[in-house]
Structure 1
Amino acid sequence: MTAEAPIAPAVSHGRLMPVTVHFDDLDALGLLHNARYPLMVERAWTELWNEHGVRFDGDWVAAGDACNAVKELRITYEAPVTRPGTYAVHLWLERLGTTGLTYGFRFCSADGTETYARGTRVLVRLDPATMRPAPWTETFRAAGRELLRPAD
């Protein structure tokens, strides 16, 4: 018996983060409920940023770059998810500005080859005292640059 080589993820940029669809994520028609896609994307981003030390533990002042708000969310559903199991969220940055960023995402098969939904989300970093836009830290920006999608 020969060992098979692992399948390389179908991503050329960003990160492929595993997510699990549970039976109770499906709606009455047996489809992944439309509201679950953004939730799973959020969980994938939270896990990725936690790897870089960006997290919210209840204190907005200590949260630093985790003190941010969503300005815009766009999502397009391309194919239904009809079964529980392991999938992935492909994450990348489209734009990294001084106080804001735009990230792209795909909800996809575990290996990244099939896309079920895709979209973008705009975040703004906030100063916890004023709730006005504030610059990302250089540490955050360095991690973000690694996730930028290459220019076409």
Structure 2
Amino acid sequence: MSVEPLQAADPVPYGQLVPVTVHFDDLDALGMLHNSRYPLLVERAWAEYWHGFGFGFDGDWAAAGDMCNVIKEMRVSYERPVTSAGRFAAHLWVERLGRTGLTYGFRICDADGTGTYAHGHRVLVRVDAGTLRPTPWSDRARAIAADLLKPETAGAAADAA
């Protein structure tokens, strides 16, 4: 996998830091990262994370498996602007793992996990490629996602089981 796992000394106590790059052309006329680029950076970080486990999409929705999913909801709160190109990180974690749905949290932060620029969550629903109706996540995807559960979420899930 291309994404390095967190170590005990890392500044984030849960989830995964994935490096992201802000390019000069991502900045708006005021020299700030354009608001639409924050979700794009998160999307690219998640794609890299899952790709590291062999998940991907090559144009065939029927073969895409767990990558065949749709966004039900997305929320982004902007804390402070990114005002330069360079290396940053997306801090990724799972807040809720359901049978067909998945809510993940994210932060765009400094490369070392400090200094939050934006944060939010996104709700995904796994769908069947033929019917576009909700369908369960595979056991493999569930196991990978479960490793990213935020600690208080993981405890609540264990209590509910």
Q: May I ask how many residue pairs the two structures share in their alignment?
A: 145
Structure 2 unaligned spans of 5+:
1-8, 154-161
Which residue identity does 2:69 align to in structure 1? N
- Tell me how far 1:9 sits from its aligned partner: 3.2
Corresponding residue of 1:120: 121
Query: Which aligned pairs between 1:91-106 and structure 2 lie closer than 5 A?
Result: 91-106=92-107
Query: Which aligned pairs between 1:1-152 and structure 2 lie closer than 5 A?
Result: 8-151=9-152
Q: Is the 8 A contact 1:19 1:88 kept in 2?
A: yes
Length-normalised TM-score, structure 1: 0.93
Structure 1 unaligned spans of 5+:
1-7
Identity of aligned residues (%): 64
Which residue identity does 1:145 align to in structure 2? A
Deviations 1:31-71 (A, max 9, x none): 00000000000000000011111111110111000000000
Length-normalised TM-score, structure 2: 0.88
Tell me which stretches of 4 or more aligned residues in structure 1 moved more than 6 Å: none
Which residue identity does 1:94 align to in structure 2? E
Q: Distance in 1 between matches of 2:29 and 2:95?
A: 35
Q: Distance in 2 between matches of 1:101 and 1:24?
A: 32
Deviations 1:66-111 (A, max 9, x none): 0000000000000110011000000000000000000000000000
